[in-house]
Structure 1
Amino acid sequence: MDEVELHAAEVGDHGSRRQRAMCARTVRKVRLSPYPRYGCHPGAAGRDGRSVSLEPLLLAAVIALGIVLADTRRRLARAEARLQDLADAAAPEPREFEVVVRRAPPPFAPRPAPHAATRPKPALSAPASEPVASAGAAAEAPGVGQAKAGFDLESLIGGRLPVWIGGAALVLAGFFLVRAAIDSGWFGPGARTLLACLLAFVLIAASEAARRLPATRDDPRIGQALAGAGVASLYATLYLAAALYHLVAPLPAFVLLLLITGAGLALSLRQGPPTAIMALAGGFLAPLVAGYDAAGTAPLLVYLALLLAALFVLSVRRGWGWLAVASAAAGFGWTGFLALMLGAEARPIVGGFVVLLSIGAALALPASGARSRWLRLAPLGVGLAQLFVLAPTLDFSPLGWAFYLVLAAAAVALAWREPVLSPAPLMAAALLLVLLAAAPTTGTTGVAAIAATLIFGAPGLTRSRAHRDWALMAVIGLLGPLAVLQLGTPQLLPRAAWTPFDLVVLAAAAWLAWRHRDRIEGTDTGLIGGTLAAAGAGVLAAAALFGEDAAGVALAAALIAIAEVARRLGARALSGSAAIPLALGLLAAHREIGALVEALARSLPGEELIYPALPPAGGVLLRLLPLAVAALLPLRHKDGYGAARRPAAIVAGVLAAATAYALMKQPLAIADADAFLRLGFYERAAITLAALAAARALATRAPVAARTLATLAIARIAWFDLLLLSPLFAAQAVGSIPLLNAAVLLPGMAAAILWTWGERRWRVPALALMLVAALAAVRQAAHGSLLTGPVGTGENWGYSAAMLALALVWLWSGLVGGARDLRFAGLGLVMVVAFKVFTVDIALEGILRVVSFLGIGVTLIAISWAYTRFLKGPAQPSP
Structure 2
Amino acid sequence: MIALTLLLILGAAAAFYVVLRRIAFLEEELRRVESLIAARDHAAPETSARSPESSTPPAPAIEAPSRVAEAQPEHEPARTGVEPRPLPQFSLETLIGGRLPIWIGGAALVLAGFFLVRYSIESGLLGPGTRTVLAALFGAALIAGSEVVRRLRATADDPRVAQTLAGAGIASLYGTLYMAAALYHLIAPPAAFLFVLLITGGALALALRHGPPTAAMALIGGFAAPLVAGFDAAGIGPLLVYLALFTAALFGLAIHRGWAWLALAACASGFAWVNFLIAMLVAREGDLSAVGAFTMLLAIGASAALPATGAGNRWLRLAPLVAGCLQLAILAPALDFGWLAWSLYLTLAAAALFLAWRDTVYLPGALAACVLLLVLEMLAIDLRAPNFTPVAAILATGLFAVPGHALARRHPLWAGIALLGTAGPLLIAHLRAPELLSAMQWGGIELAAAAAVFGLAWRSRADGTHSLLVPATALAAFLAGLGLGQFVPGDWLALPLSCIAAALAWWAHKIRAPRLYALPAYPLAAALIAAALPLGTLSELILASLSGERLTYALLPALPELLRELALPVALAAALLLDPAQFGRVRRVASLFAVTLGVLLLYALAKQPLAIATLPRFETFGFVERALLTQACLAAGWLLLRRARAVTLGHVLLALGLFRILWFDLLLLTPLAEPQAVGPLPLLNAAVLHLALASFWLWTLPPRWRPGAALLALLAVLAAVRQAAHGNLLTGPIGTGENGGYSAAMLALALFWLWRGIAAGARDLRVFGLALLTGVTFKVFLIDAAALDGLLRILSFLGLGIALIGIGWAYGRFVGKGAAAPEPLT
Q: How high is the TM-score relative to the length of structure 2?
A: 0.76
1:867 paired to 2:811? yes
- Find the counterpart in structure 1 of residue 780 from structure 2: 837
Residue 480 in 1 paired to residue 424 in 2? yes
Find the counterpart in structure 2 of residue 496 from structure 1.
440
Equivalents in 1 of 2:736, 2:104: separation in Å? 112
- Corresponding residue for residue 707 of structure 1: 651
Do the aligned residues in 2 keep the contact of 1:456 with 1:477 (CA within 8 Å)?
Answer: yes
Equivalent position to 2:505, from 559, 563, 569: 563
Distance 2:554 2:705 in 1: 35
Distance change >3 Å, CA 227–CA 498, structure 1 → 2: same
Q: Distance between the aligned counterparts of 1:598 and 1:212, measured in 2?
A: 99
What corresponds to 1:257 in structure 2? Answer: 196
User: How do residues 173-212 of structure 1 correspond to structure 2 at under 5 angstroms?
Assistant: 193=132, 196-197=135-136, 199-212=138-151
2:301 corresponds in structure 1 to 360
Say if 1:242 and 1:248, in contact at 8 Å, map to a contact too. Answer: yes
Say if 2:261 is the partner of 1:316: no
Per the alignment, residue 36 of structure 2 pairs with none
Larger of the two Rg values belongs to structure: 1
Q: Does 1:542 align with 2:481?
A: no
Secondary structure of the structure 1 residue equivalent to 2:788: coil
More relative contact order, 1 or 2 (CA 8 Å, 6+ apart): 2
1:388–1:431 contact (8 Å) kept in structure 2: yes
- Tell me if structure 2 keeps the 8 A contact 1:204–1:231: yes
Contact conserved, 1:240 with 1:290, CA < 8 A, in 2?
yes
Shift of 1:177: 5.8
Tell me by how many angstroms 1:312 deviates.
1.6
2:760–2:820 contact (8 Å) kept in structure 1: no
Deviation at 1:781, TM superposition (A): 5.3
- Mapped contact 2:138–2:169 kept (Cα < 8 A): yes
* Cα distance in 1, alignment partners of residues 120 and 667 from structure 2: 97
Contact 2:254 2:260 (C-alpha < 8 Å) held by counterparts: yes
Residue pair 1:452, 1:477 contacting (<8 A) in 2 also: yes
SS of alignment partner, residue 576 of structure 1:
coil
Which residue in 1 is equivalent to 2:211?
272
What are the superposed Cα offsets for residues 355-395 of structure 1, whole Å, 9 maximum, x if unpaired? 32232222222222122232333333233333334334444
Equivalent AA in structure 2 for residue 411 of structure 1: A
Q: CA separation in 2, counterparts of 1:608 and 1:174?
A: 100
C-alpha distance 830-283 of structure 1, shift in aligned 2 (>3 A) = farther
TM superposition shift of 1:332: 3.1
Structure 1 partner of 2:66: none
Whole-Å separation in 1 of the counterparts to 2:307 and 2:113: 36
SS of aligned partner of 1:371: coil
Superposed displacement of residue 571, structure 1: 1.9
Distance 2:398 2:480 in 1: 20
Aligned match of 2:392: 448
Quick check: 1:585 aligned with 2:527?
yes
Correspondence 1:431 to 2:372: yes
Counterpart in the other structure of 2:171: 232
- Select the residue among 402, 406, 410 that pairs with 1:458: 402
Contact 1:523–1:573 (Cα < 8 Å) also in 2:
no
CA distance in 2, matches of 1:528, 1:383: 33
CA contact (8 A) 1:692 1:713 kept: yes
The equivalent of 2:582 in structure 1 is 640
Check whether the contact 1:797–1:848 (CA below 8 A) recurs between aligned residues: no
- Which residue of the partner structure matches residue 307 of structure 1? 246
Q: Distance in 2 between matches of 1:236 and 1:249?
A: 16
Alignment-derived partner of residue 410 in structure 1: 351
Aligned-residue offset at 1:318: 1.5
Name the % identity.
53
Q: What TM-score results when the alignment is normalised by the length of structure 1?
A: 0.72
Counterparts of 1:769-848 in structure 2, within 5 Å, are 769-779=712-722, 791-846=734-789
CA drift at 1:707: 2.6
Partner Cα distance (1:171, 1:498) in 2: 63
Query: Could you tell me how far 1:558 is from its partner in structure 2?
Result: 1.2
2:783 aligned partner, one-letter code: V
How many pairs align?
A: 726
What does the per-residue CA deviation read over 1:757-812, in whole Å, with 9 as the maximum and x for residues that have no partner?
Answer: x3445444444444444445555555666666655545544444444444344434
Residue 408 of structure 1 aligns to which amino acid in structure 2? A
Offset, 1:713? 4.0
Change (3 A) 1:564 1:157: same
2:326 is the counterpart of 1:385? yes
1:408 Cα deviation from its structure 2 partner:
2.7
> Which secondary structure state, in structure 2, belongs to the residue aligned with residue 284 of structure 1?
helix
Aligned residue number for residue 67 of structure 1: none
Structure 1's 540 and 191: CA in aligned 2 closer, same or farther, altered over 3 A? same
Give 1:32's aligned residue.
none
Q: Is the 1:551–1:623 contact (alpha carbons within 8 Å) kept by the matching residues of 2?
A: yes
Q: Higher mean Cα deviation, 600-609 or 372-381?
A: 600-609
1:254, CA displacement in angstroms?
2.9
Q: Distance in 2 between matches of 1:606 and 1:519?
A: 57
Structure 1 residues 657, 447: closer, same or farther in 2, change over 3 A?
farther
In structure 2, the partner of 1:25 is none
> Which segment is superposed worse, 357-366 or 739-748?
739-748
Residues 1:843 and 1:228: Cα distance change in structure 2 (over 3 Å): farther
Aligned-partner Cα distance in 2 for 1:462–1:380: 22
The verdict on how the C-alpha distance between 1:468 and 1:341 changes in structure 2, with shifts beyond 3 A counting, is same
Is 1:752 aligned with 2:696?
yes
Residue 182 of structure 2, aligned match among 228, 240, 243 = 243
Task: Give the counterpart letter for 2:774 in structure 1.
Answer: M
* Contact kept in structure 1, 2:761 and 2:819, CA below 8 Å: no
Tell me, yes or no, if the aligned pair for 1:620 and 1:663 is still in contact at 8 Å: no
Q: CA deviation at 1:553?
A: 1.7
